[in-house]
Chains A and B, each alone.
Chain A
């Protein structure tokens, strides 16, 4: 086996022109995004497989029906629509920043990068609220021991199973402890009536049961435990992409502000950051489909 003498400092990858007419950095960003698409795709397909393999899956219209400052109003699809439009709009400001970069307009790039960063932060804020709402949520479900309990949605607990029929719920209420009956009754009286936990504590079990039974409470079985893991896992992985995208955009903003791209003569870095940012929006389109719409 012969060895060829290679002059030191040979640049293998600078052959003079790109066969794809795209710079090396942009090609690699595309291939990274393609591999990331496979990662997200694998997560979503795994979720789909598990969802297809069970008889009852949580209905997104019941799980995601809350809106900040709207109390217990039933608003399915509302909050996630807001999140979706925030992300679409920040995608538009990103592509406008790229456009200003092509025109070598430093001020324009700065303005649209700021708007994109704000859009990303707004989305992260929405996601933080939604996670908090689910993790501290109050949904009444029947545990394995046949008693009702006020439960949050976590990676270990999914209270969103099939709805209990009336006789099962009444039987479960009879078995439920006083503390849990008080907790269930106080979820029924948020705000207006002001009954709350304070009053409920002084009622007898039977009075509480009557109150709960006549309230039209939709108690459920617990559902497949995988729900929380997939929801928090996939939206968390997406949220982490949004977070890192915001960091990248902040770096790009600072470099624009310092005039680095103007000296370089082109704003290609803004284009590469833009590719990543649009990809985050693209993934959200599919997360929105798989978790909230169908």
Chain B
């Protein structure tokens, strides 16, 4: 009974990433898209929280959105997997529920 949580806000502007990470259950996944994709870059104020969350949840970032913001996979946190749009579709299909944290 796993849920895919989609975050689209920069954590430097809005608190949806923090609120999501505090509430999801073990085995749920988080996909970072749009402005949220920059949270996947290593060495930010959110690195520690994301690394801790990765112990019980799978974390993904939408690579085209990260690239559009000037970062490549080399800047990624080790605990975050990069996916393309087809990978996004696959995550939607393989989780029982999808929740966009708008």
Partners in one complex: no
Residues of A within 8 A of B (CB): none
Residues of B within 8 A of A (CB): none
